[in-house]
Chain A
Amino acid sequence: MYSIVGVVTVIAAVVFVSTYVKAVVYVSDSGSLGTIDVSQAESQGYVAVSMSTEATSTTAAAVAASTSAETSSTSSHISIPTKPKYIPPDFPAHLSIPSLAIEASVQELGLKANGDLGSPSNFVDVGWYAAGTIPGKTGSAIIDGHVDNGLALSGVFKHLTDVVVGDNVYITTHGGAKLHFTVTDIQSFDYKNAPLDLIYNQDNGIYLKLITCGGAWVPGDRTYDRRIVVTTILAK
């Protein structure tokens, strides 16, 4: 009886701790750094497979080894490490939105296996799409953040929809530079039907776009059915 109760107690404690950690502290399936599926990328033509004839003979063995290594690995994905040894000074380090009292560190994000942008590994940081535009450069730099955690408590972007046109957004880079953006637009899109190319690839200016979830919960997809996109432009 004693041992049975002991085992049940330990199991209950493990369940409690793991549920709490996942719901409040750490997002285990977010992929704070995403992966890129090599086979998917190849089908999109991103990786070349041909090479010059003089290289073929010398690297045939290497190709075979590489192929077997890739097929025998537990995952065919390429991972971007969490923290590169050298962080360029113009990479974003901190996000500030004074009107919402948001002060957040910036994580680097990649793509998840399904091609979606990753999200931060906790609920207080924001994440920057590191394979996209660097904030302050021409194009659309993308930053996302959680709207809530597993307990429905507020995430960093809980009140993102409260911004108004004209509000200030600041990015501090790792080199110490402070970039000033101004909110120009707040939009809500259906999570399955949105102009993703316009959102991610708009390049007729220097944009910073903030993304989070909104709308109603979709139990089957374990997500909300809207995406809030706040567009800001570099202030002159």
Chain B
Amino acid sequence: MIKTTTIIVLAAFLAVSSAGMTSVSAETTATMPTLYSQSGVAVNVSTNTYLPAGWYFLQPGGAAASQVYYYGNGTFYNANTMTYGGSIGDPNGTAGVVLNYTSPVGTPGFPNTGAGGNSAMVWMTLILSGMVAVAGLAFLASSRPRLVLKRQ
């Protein structure tokens, strides 16, 4: 009786311990999600298929909230969560491959949205090149060689 009880208790202890270990490992790893086309077809379930870059969805149905951009090299970007996913170590982007996961998007630098500071040089280039082109055309038009046909 005592021996049976001890075995049951030990088995239960081992079962609980195993479950705990599994859940811990599941929390620290992630897998490449299945990507769906706009028509709801899973597109990255084969290990041998190259998935072209483009827009795909994390869930069938084509909802904007699940849309991601796949770069064609195993990685994708989710603008809704501002996170990257996938791995270039899995260049086919195969669903189910275990990965270490994403980091938030780095903050971009400012854009360069001005060009007029160099306008003086640009204007000068336009004027000079325009004058040369017009003068050259005028010269060519006024002094084009005359073709003389000689009778054989």
Q: Is B54 on the interface with A (CB-CB < 8 A)?
A: yes
* Residue from B47, B91, B102 whose CB has the most chain A CB atoms within 10 Å: B91
A: contact size bracket = 35 or more
Q: Which residues of B contact A62 (CB under 8 A)?
A: 90-92
Partner among B72, B98, B102, B140 whose Cβ is within 8 Å of the Cβ of A9: B140
Q: Which residues of B contact A133 (CB under 8 A)?
A: 79, 82
Residues in chain B within 8 A of chain A (CB atoms): 29, 38, 47, 53-55, 62, 64, 67, 69, 71-75, 77, 79-80, 82, 84, 86-92, 94, 97-103, 105-119, 122-123, 125-126, 129-130, 132-133, 135-137, 139-140, 143-145
| 13 A–B pairs (Cβ distance < 8 Å), ordered by A | A2-B140, A2-B143, A16-B133, A41-B84, A47-B84, A48-B100, A50-B89, A84-B55, A84-B69, A109-B111, A134-B79, A149-B116, A151-B116
Min CB–CB distance B125 → chain A (angstroms): 5
Bound-state CA distance A91–B72 (Å) is: 22
Q: Which residues of A contact B71 (CB under 8 A)?
A: 36, 78
Q: Which residues of B contact A155 (CB under 8 A)?
A: 113-114
* Residue from A9, A111, A145 whose CB has the most chain B CB atoms within 10 Å: A9
Min CB–CB distance B26 → chain A (angstroms): 13
Known: A9-B132, A132-B79, A196-B108. A59 touches B116 (CB 8 A): no
Bound-state CA distance A153–B123 (Å) is: 11
Q: Mark A170-205, 1 if CB is under 8 A from B, else 0.
A: 000000000000000000010100101100110000
Known: A131-B79, A224-B114. A19 touches B126 (CB 8 A): yes
The answer to whether A15 and B116 have CB atoms under 8 Å apart is no
* Residue from A6, A114, A131 whose CB has the most chain B CB atoms within 10 Å: A131
Given contacts A49-B88, A130-B79, A217-B116, 5 further A-B contacts (CB under 8 A): A2-B143, A48-B87, A137-B80, A197-B107, A218-B117
The answer to whether B110 and A116 have CB atoms under 8 Å apart is yes
Q: Which residues of B contact A5 (CB under 8 A)?
A: 136, 139-140
Residues in chain A within 8 A of chain B (CB atoms): 2, 5-6, 8-9, 12-13, 15-16, 19-20, 23, 27, 30, 36, 38, 41-42, 44-52, 55, 58-59, 62-63, 65-66, 70, 78, 80-81, 84-86, 88-91, 109, 111, 114-119, 127, 129-134, 137, 139, 144-153, 155, 157, 189, 191, 194, 196-197, 200-201, 211-214, 217-219, 222-224, 227
Q: Is the interface of B mostly helix, strand, loop or mixed?
A: loop
